[in-house]
A and B are shown apart, each in its own frame.
Chain A
């Protein structure tokens, strides 16, 4: 078959507007994801509670930086309790379920995720009064030679379980302070082409992250294979005085990449970090 005859057909495909793909994307949300996570619940679509930042094109499908910024203050009376992040067209759309408290100071969360193909990324915030607000961004998948897994698996395996806290700036007493938690973990998706090889690897990923300051929870997350190799989270806490940040990350192994019914509990890794305002 000669390529030249096919060009008009290919041309048509290439010109399919992104809007059409995005509309298609709403089907997965409406038919699968919404019923699964928020059956019968009203969700307002707006940028008033949270906003989502993501690149227009996933330059590296293995490592797409996304950031959810909160628009409301975390007070004891009114705060964002939970933010769910989904990538509609990923083989396993669930990215993470992030929980915050008034002690978080600010319910912002930045992370790096895997994006397999053109897709909406959506974040749904739930405030303590139960109200749900959703925001989304369309991300184009990249082409070329990269794939949504890490570049150097052995390096990540060698460091498995190592964690680091990194402050982004000065510690501000009594004010929300941004901190980065780095977890070295290959976060293996388990998406393997078994026909090709004898290497059959189970999904092996960080499933729980809990961070406290002086024993009070400030951030916790349930995560999955859509989180990039070496999970990296940025969030806020409020240092009232000298104290200690403590992180606990627990991993798991599951038999298949897309089902979570047969999993075995993994290891828990901990890291502490002294805060000296």
Chain B
């Protein structure tokens, strides 16, 4: 009983008290980013680990990812309010992972449209109850189904959002980091918000398709961008240089797993042997690498 009580107390309650603004940095004119820390989501950081932010136009603000919990969402909203008087019209969810979408409910208001990949709602439905359980168990965050808000606007291929004096181009990618990755391009500052299609420093996490991700990287690295915002990591100003580490890591996984499969190795052997030369190149390698090998192995073993 005591344990239960403590457990209930440990939940972070969602309240509409005025939040302290989340620190954000203006990385390009009208493009504001909060840079997350490279930590495993847990009950100390409450899942507040991802890069989040917003882009300000003359008529509208588009929020890009809402945070790791509703309270962080409220803090991001406060940052918008303290930065501009322009209203929030859109909340763009770059993919289903909780560190990017768990703040959605903080933005729910008349006039705010949620925008996501056309497969986002399905992923939210399939993972939602599990993510809510995990928010309670592992993040110390109390959330309900009402906090998971599926997109009002679904992006099938690409979509332009007019913010007034600036246009954002949203692109729905084929399965890569997840099967519902959306990127946001701001023509005005030649900035692309890749979110978790790009990891720097923090080990990439694979939850979609290894081959799909490598193929998206191939396409993206042929384009030029002045600024690139990863889902985890610092602002990138030397594109495509900064995607090379991730490309190398994912290519190595592909090469070594294919070799292991060819030799008749099993999944449980592969997670012990594949990709360990990359261990010292990435933060959180021990937390995510074996999961990456597992997901990639399950994909590549069907190649013929």
**Chain A residues engaging chain B, CB cutoff 8 angstroms:** 1, 3, 6-7, 9-10, 12-14, 16, 53, 55, 59-60, 63, 65, 67, 110, 112, 116-117, 142-155, 159, 162, 166-169, 180, 182, 184, 191-199, 201, 228-230, 232, 234
Contacts of B7 in A (CB 8 A): 13
Contacts of A143 in B (CB 8 A): 40-42, 134, 138
Inter-subunit contact A191/B209 (CB<8 Å): no
**B128 at the A interface (CB under 8 A):** yes
Q: In the complex, given contacts A59-B294, A142-B291, what are 20 additional A-B residue pairs having Cβ atoms less than 8 angstroms apart? A: A1-B12, A1-B13, A6-B10, A13-B6, A13-B7, A63-B295, A117-B137, A146-B207, A147-B130, A151-B209, A151-B298, A153-B126, A167-B264, A192-B128, A192-B129, A193-B126, A193-B145, A197-B121, A197-B150, A228-B298
- Quote the shortest CB–CB distance from B202 to chain A (angstroms): 12
- Quote the shortest CB–CB distance from B122 to chain A (angstroms): 5
From A9, A53, A193, B9 is in contact (CB under 8 Å) with A9
Inter-subunit contact A193/B122 (CB<8 Å): no
Contacts of B12 in A (CB 8 A): 1, 3, 6
Rounded to whole angstroms, the CA-CA distance of A168 and B267 in the bound complex is 12
Inter-subunit contact B46/A234 (CB<8 Å): no
Contacts of A195 in B (CB 8 A): 145-146
Inter-subunit contact A191/B150 (CB<8 Å): no
- Quote the shortest CB–CB distance from A153 to chain B (angstroms): 7
Q: Which of B42, B208, B266 has the most CB of A within 10 A?
A: B266
Contact with A along B192-215 (1 / 0, CB 8 A): 000000000000011111001000
Rounded to whole angstroms, the CA-CA distance of A1 and B141 in the bound complex is 12
Rounded to whole angstroms, the CA-CA distance of A201 and B250 in the bound complex is 32
Contacts of B129 in A (CB 8 A): 191-193
A10-B44, A142-B291, A196-B128 known; A16 vs B148 contact (CB < 8 Å): no
Inter-subunit contact B205/A144 (CB<8 Å): yes
Q: Which of A3, A55, A144, A197 has the most CB of B within 10 A?
A: A144
A-B contact pairs, 8 of them (CB 8 A): A59-B290, A60-B295, A155-B175, A166-B264, A169-B264, A197-B125, A199-B121, A234-B266
- Quote the shortest CB–CB distance from A11 to chain B (angstroms): 9
A154-B179, A184-B302, A230-B302 known; A196 vs B148 contact (CB < 8 Å): yes
Inter-subunit contact A146/B291 (CB<8 Å): yes
Inter-subunit contact A145/B99 (CB<8 Å): yes
* CB closest chain-B residue, reference A193: B128
